[in-house]
Amino acid sequence: MLGNLSGSEILILMLIVLLVFGANRLPDAGKAVGKGLREFKRALSDAENSIHQLPSSSREEQPRDAKPKRLVE
């Protein structure tokens, strides 16, 4: 997730975060990030489950030469 960051770069980022949020607000910021990640994972899981529950006919691809259906005539 962090890519190719070295130890010194991670330390500098941690110091910047500490300066921006302050020692008192840092735990609250961590909780907010954790809660956001949990909600994102839950929403992603719900979306995957709803896709898997679709009937197989609606998940099949249409042939490439098929014309798209018009919604408004």
Q: Do the domain assignments include residue 17?
A: no
Chain Cα centroid distance, residue 16: 24
Residue 58 falls inside a structural domain: no
Task: Please list, in sequence order, all residues whose beta carbon lies within 8 angstroms of the beta carbon of residue 26, skipping any fewer than 6 positions away.
Answer: 17, 18
The pTM assigned to this predicted structure is 0.50
Domain count of the chain? 1
The boundaries of the domain holding residue 36 are 25-50
Evaluate whether residue 37 is within a structural domain: yes
Does residue 67 sit within a domain?
Answer: no
Question: How high is the mean pLDDT of the chain?
Answer: 81
pLDDT at 42: 95
The answer to whether residue 35 is domain-embedded is: yes
The answer as to whether 65 is a domain residue is no
Chain mean position to CA 5:
22
- Residue 12, domain member (yes or no): no
Domain presence at residue 10: no
Is residue 71 scored above 80 in pLDDT?
no
Q: Is 22 left (phi over 0), alpha (psi -120 to 50) or beta?
A: left
35 against 18, higher pLDDT: 35
Q: Would you say residue 73 has pLDDT above 70?
A: no
- The tokens for 58 are 């609606």
With beta carbons less than 8 A apart as the criterion, state whether 29 and 21 touch: yes
Is pLDDT above 80 for 37?
yes
